[in-house]
Structure 1
Amino acid sequence: MRTKVGLLILLALLSGCDNSAPVEKGFAGLGGEAAAFTPVVPGRVFSFPADHGPHDGFRIEWWYVTANLKDDQGHEFGVQWTLFRSALKATPEVAGWSNQTIWLGHAAVTSATVHHAAERYARGGVGQAGVSVAPFNAWIDDWRFSGPLADMQLSARDKGFSYQLRLVSTRPLVLQGDKGFSQKSEQGQASYYYSQPFFQANGSLEIDGKTYTVSGPAWLDREWSSQPLTANQSGWDWFSLHLDSGEQVMLYRMRQKDGAPYLTGTWIDAEGRTELLHGDDISLTPGDTAKVAGRSMPVRWSIKIPGKHLDITTTALNPNAWMDLRIPYWEGPVRLSGSHAGQGYLEMTGY
């Protein structure tokens, strides 16, 4: 899942706070009540290319890309690019400084020894950030994700890193959850969620002044909601996995302050057909931990899906892949071993 980090807290930072006592709203405020905004309900009929663009009436959404890359010498890298849109009001957007949308960008590169992360902020309505559909273009400052969905361009830069990648796929989009309705709790919190897990990326990245020519699999997530968490949910552990056998797997574990985690996922076969995975189908167990930014983080996981004969261990390429941003979290590439080889990405929040 991609109910990403810090957006509602960002609203408080940028739109001002009152002096009332804080109300429990779950991790990063994502469990706060959103009665004025459009609810997420089962049965939505997705429409493309319109659903690649922003969704008025919903409080939060994002365009998120990760890539597992190698150069000709076999050196491994990870790339992340995310653009968040968060609405201050449940009304159609207006132009100019009275615009009620906040934009936030995250970008990162990771190697076995280095991790760089950066963020950008923007107010909507003044051209600094946004998303257009025809032609598709998502941007904040000079960070861009653009082009027809079968042939995209992705770029970002900051002190210490930059990347320029081409992402190509001829496979269909994947609707996550139940035909795009992705439930996050037993109480019914949910998002609309689709992915393109079959991208192949190639291009260049630069880390600390050294440039590498790279290629490898990439994954796009698109998600929007108005209240994706409950007030009791303290964080999540999210996986996107590229199996060398051709299948793709998305899993997430929504941790709660009280009670068992909510666990679900999607099995995606090599042709793009999907199967919803329920908690009883999955065993997701944290293993070895590392001390990262003063926190104990599980950087090694055991994943078992008996119905698919999957029994693997994921290991972080760089245990120190800490996103030291306004709202910090862990995100980085992982290697797979066991019944299936492969690679993927892991995000952990709320630790």
Structure 2
Amino acid sequence: MSASRPITRRAFAGGALALALGGRSFAQGFAGLGEAADGFAQVTPGRQFVFPADHGPHPEFRIEWWYVTANLVDAAGAAYGAQWTLFRQAMTSGVRVEGWANQQVWMGHAAVTSAATHHVAETFARGGVGQADVIATPFQAWIDAWQLRGLDGFDAQTVAPLELKAAANDFSYALQLKADRPLVLQGDHGYSRKSDRGQASYYYSQPFFTVSGTITIDGKPIGVTGHAWMDREWSSQPLAPDQTGWDWLSLHLPGDEKLMLYRLRQKDGRENLFGNWITPDSRSTEIAAPGNSITPTVTTEIAGRKLPTSWRVTLPERGLAIETTPLNPKSWMGTSFPYWEGPIRFSGSHSGIGYLEMTGY
């Protein structure tokens, strides 16, 4: 296992300045995501998404990420996971400044997981000097040599085809992502609530990628195929100050249905459950919380703490009752903002694969 101080995509908003610039302490909400965002644009219902423009950055908002997870198998059927993320954090609001005075900090996060190992790498960059950025047309997101870019025939409505690359000391990957269905808007037509007090993000996904390519672990190249999921989110204050973390699932269901589900935890023990059910024709429907549940069933001791690494998920109105199992229960990121993230399988009323992210434990 390797770890170059990685943090989760949502933790980055609070951590980028502290890690990259030696800055302040963030006390409000998990990793500062509940901190007030005076001067930045606010998320409100009813936004009209425009593509390809919305594949690019939104510097008027404080926090943003481009995020891919891939469930992969080799020729012998062994399972792997791959992750690539690019984060943008605005240090101050106002008109964008070029050069070294640019307000944006960027972070790249790459990972590969097998049943026995979990490899992670991270890199930082300052905006305005070409080291990291995102261009909507032709689509390209990069930090140093890590990149997610559109290939010939790129379609802004499907966000495909794409090439995904990253490399570190002990792992690398080069993957091609294809999709034949449109992206989907999460939450209420892209307005994703995080609390009952107004916190929200703009959120869309492409959950229908098929993947092929090569991952390399400790010098050994492995041909892989599988399924991938891309998330795009931006906000200025996505959490309330008393929210301590979340448990997030992206699931590939039988018949090409998809499920995105997350539980946000509060200091007083209460929780909020949000999600979307996605049909094979890209229709995305927000899931009502009453009667639905996500409950831990198995805990794993990691880094001196116990984490819920297996879950029971029930959505009665959808006839879904499943149990999840991690590929590698030790998929722990022991970093400045520790979290767990890795590929999972599930069985029960439905069976399939997906990814789990847990923060704030």
TM-score, shorter chain, exceeding 0.5: yes
Counterpart for residue 5 of structure 2: none
Q: How far did 1:292 drift?
A: 1.4
**CA distance, structure 2, for counterparts of residue 15 and residue 114 of structure 1:** 31
Which one-letter code corresponds to 1:5 in the other structure? A
Structure 2 residue 202 is the aligned partner of structure 1 residue 199: no
Equivalent residue in structure 2 for 1:139, among 131, 139, 142: 142
Per-residue CA deviation, residues 138-163 of structure 1 (Å, 9 max, x unaligned), is 01111100003220000111111100
The whole-number CA distance in structure 1 between the counterparts of 2:12 and 2:55 is: 22
- Spell out structure 1 runs of 4+ moving beyond 6 A: none
User: 2 CA distance for matches of 1:177 and 1:285?
Assistant: 21
How far has the Cα of 1:195 moved from its partner?
Answer: 0.2
Provide the residue aligned with 2:14 in structure 1. 8
Judging changes above 3 Å, is the alpha-carbon distance between structure 1 residues 209 and 194 closer, same or farther for their aligned structure 2 residues?
same
Shift of residue 170, structure 1, vs aligned partner: 1.2
Aligned partner of 2:173: which letter? Answer: Y
Q: How does 1:312-331 map to 2 (within 5 A)?
A: 312-331=322-341
Q: Which amino acid aligns with 2:94?
A: T
Corresponding position of 2:129? 126
TM-score, structure 2 length as denominator?
Answer: 0.93
CA deviation digits over 1:264-318, x for unaligned, max 9? 1000011111110122142110110011122211111000111111111110000
Distance 1:138 1:38, change over 3 A: same
Q: Distance in 2 between matches of 1:255 and 1:278?
A: 17
| Deviations 1:16-75 (CA, angstroms, capped at 9, x unpaired) | 546xxx674100000000121000000000000000000021000000000000011000
Instruction: Give the secondary structure class of the aligned counterpart of 1:11.
Output: helix
Q: Partner of 1:75 in structure 2?
A: 78
Q: Distance in 1 between matches of 2:288 and 2:66?
A: 25
Q: Tell which deviates more after alignment, 281-290 or 227-236.
A: 281-290
CA contact (8 A) 1:332 1:347 kept: yes
Displacement of 1:3 in angstroms is: 6.2
The yes-or-no answer on 1:170 pairing with 2:180 is yes
Q: How does 1:1-351 map to 2 (within 5 A)?
A: 4-15=10-21, 17=23, 24-147=27-150, 148=154, 149-351=159-361
Give secondary structure in 1 for the equivalent of 2:314.
strand
8 Å Cα contact 1:25-1:32 kept in structure 2: yes
Residues paired across the two proteins, number: 347
Residue type of the alignment partner of 1:50: A
Would the aligned equivalents of 1:204 and 1:214 in 2 still touch at CA under 8 Å?
A: yes
- The aligned amino acid for 2:77 is G
**RMSD between aligned alpha carbons?**
1.4
Tell me which amino acid in the other structure corresponds to 1:6. F
TM-score by length of 1: 0.96
Q: Which has the higher mean CA deviation after the structures are superposed, 83-92 or 67-76?
A: 83-92
Distance in structure 1 (CA, Å) of the matches to 2:253 and 2:299: 24
Q: Offset at 1:15?
A: 4.6
- Equivalent residue of 1:245, what SS? helix
Q: Which amino acid aligns with 1:182?
A: S
Partner of residue 4, structure 2:
none
- Rounded to whole Å, the distance in 1 between the matches of 2:341 and 2:123 is 17
Separation (CA, whole Å) in 1 of partners of 2:311 and 2:224? 27
